[in-house]
A = this chain, B = another copy of it.
Amino acid sequence: MEADPRAARLSNVALAGPSQARDRRSIRRTNLGLVLRMLRDDGPRSRAQIAADTGLPKPTVTSLVAELVSLGLVREGPAQREGAVGRPGTLVHVDGRDICGIGVEISTSYIHVLALTLSGATAFEHRSAVAVADAEAAAVLDLTGRSIRACLAALERDGIRPVGITLAVPGVVDARTGTVEYAPALGWRDLGVVDGLSARLDQPTPPIAVGNDAKLVAIAEYVQAQGKGVQDMICITGERGIGAGIITDGRLLRGSTGFAGEVGHMPLDPERRRCVCGRLGCWETMVGLDAIFRLAADVGDPVHDPHVELEDRLAELHRRARSGDVRTRQALSRVADDLALGIALLADVLNPEVVVLGGYFSYIGDLMLQRVREVVRARVMAQEAGGCEVVLSTLGFRAAARGGAHLALDAVYQDPSAV
C-alpha cells in the first residue's frame, strides 16, 4: 500500500552500481574521518570502544588515533570517572581548539569575517559596513583582503591554524572556477573572486572557496536544526536580493551544475516591476530590503541611509511598527503577503518540513510571521500546508559566514590528513 516508499527505493535501484575500488591511502583517510566524526557526534571514548563502534581492528584504531593526535585533532586523557577498578581508562577527545575554518560574507551592505574552531568556538569575528553595490569590485576585494589579513594575523597570534576560507556571495557562483557568474545585487558578473582575493593575500594562505550565500546559510541553519531531525528544509535569506538554500532528504540541493536555489527572480509580481537583474516581476522586487524600505518610508527618511548599520535601520522600523505607525505596519503586512506567496509556491514544489526565514527577516520577521503562516496555510495545495512550519532564523546576518566556516571545517572531518 505504500506507493511512495517504493518509489524512493526504485531510484536507489537505478543508482546502484559496483562499489568503486579504493586505494589503501584513501581507505585510511576515510577511516580517519570516520573516527573523528564519531568523536564529534558521540563524544569522547576509549580506543577499545572506538574499535567496537566502528568495527575496525584495534591495532588500526591505535594507529589512526596516533595519527589524529599528531595532526593536533584529538588528544588522549584520563577518563573523568573516578573510583574505577584497575588501570585508569584513557579517553580520546576531539581537540579542535587550535584549528579553525573561516567564513567571509560579502553582502550588499557589509563584509563579515568569522573564524570558527573545530570545537565550535568563535576565534575571530569582524563586520564592516560597506555599500558594496556602489563600490568598484576591485575596491571591495581590497577591503575583503584587508579583513581576512586582520583575521589571519589574529589567529596566528593566538596559535590557531586556519584550514580553509569560504567566501559567501549573493549570486550565481561557479565553485569549480572560483567565479561569481552573476550577482545582480552587487553588480558583479564573471568575477574571479578566488583568484582576485588570493592575489591580495600573502602566500601561503589556506585554500579559498566561493559559495552562494543562501546555500551557506542553509548549511549553518541545518547544523543548528540537526538535533531536531529535520530532513527537508528551505532557508530563505532576505537581503537586498532573496536567496534560498534547500535541503531535501538531508542533503543540500545543488542541481546538475550547482545553481539550484535561485528563488529571488521567480516572476510573482503581477505589476511586473523591473528588477535589478533586468527581468520583470521578480519576487525580490516585492520582498527584498529595497521593497520594505520603499513601502515603509519616503526617500530622505533615515531608514534609507546606507551609511547607517542595517540592524539599526531595521530596529527603527521595528520600533515604528510596535508604536503603531500605520505606514510601517502596512508595509510589513504587504511584504508578509508577498513573502507568503513565494513560500507557498516553494512549499508546493518542495514540500519542506520547515521554512527558515533568515537575513533581514530575522530582525523584523516577528511582526510578519503570523500573517505569513496564515497565507501559506491558505495557499499551499496540501492540507495544513503539507505540514510545513515557517520559523525565524536565530542566526541573522551571521549565518552565511558561519555556514562558510562550517564548510571549511568540514574538509577536516572528511579528510583529517589534509590538515
Contacts and interface: CB of A to CB of B under 8 A. Distances in A.
State how many copies of this chain the complex holds: 2
Given A253-B350, A349-B260, A351-B256, A209 B14 contact: no
A247 interface: yes
A214 B413 CA distance: 39
Contacts of A182: 381-383
A263 B211 contact: no
Nearest to A354: B256
Contacts of A387: 256-257
Contacts of A68: none
Interface stretch (A105-113, A131-139, A171-179, A303-311): A171-179
B232 A256 contact: yes
B341 A267 contact: yes
Q: How many residues of A sit at the interface, in one of the four size bands?
A: 35 or more
A4 B211 contact: yes
A6 interface: yes
Contacts of A268: 267-268
Interface string A180-197: 011000000000001000
B194 A1 contact: yes
Contacts of A15: 250-251
Given A53-B18, A207-B1, A208-B1, A410 B176 contact: no
Nearest to A166: B3
A379 interface: yes
Nearest to A245: B7
Interface string A378-418: 01011100111000000000000000001100110110000
A15 B6 CA distance: 21
A262 B347 CA distance: 9
A258 B4 contact: yes
Interface in A81-105: none
Given A13-B37, A281-B270, A381-B265, A351 B194 contact: no
A2 interface: yes
A406 B350 contact: no
Question: Which residue of A207, A252, A351, A383 has the most chain B CB atoms within 10 A of its CB atom?
Answer: A351
A195 to B, nearest CB: 10
Contacts of A353: 256-257
Given A259-B382, A267-B268, A382-B172, A11 B407 contact: no
A222 interface: yes
A345 interface: yes
Given A14-B222, A175-B3, A260-B351, A9 B410 contact: yes
12 contacts: A3-B407, A4-B175, A4-B215, A7-B215, A7-B252, A12-B251, A14-B222, A14-B226, A172-B383, A255-B386, A266-B349, A267-B341
Given A7-B215, A14-B223, A257-B353, 20 more contacts: A1-B209, A2-B175, A4-B211, A6-B407, A7-B219, A14-B222, A14-B226, A172-B383, A232-B256, A249-B253, A249-B254, A256-B388, A259-B381, A259-B382, A259-B386, A262-B381, A266-B345, A267-B345, A270-B272, A277-B381
Interface of A: 1-16, 18, 37, 41, 53, 166, 172-173, 175-176, 178, 181-182, 194, 207-211, 215, 219, 222-223, 226, 231-232, 244, 246-263, 265-268, 270-272, 277, 279, 281, 341, 345-346, 348-353, 379, 381-383, 386-388, 406-407, 410-411, 413-414
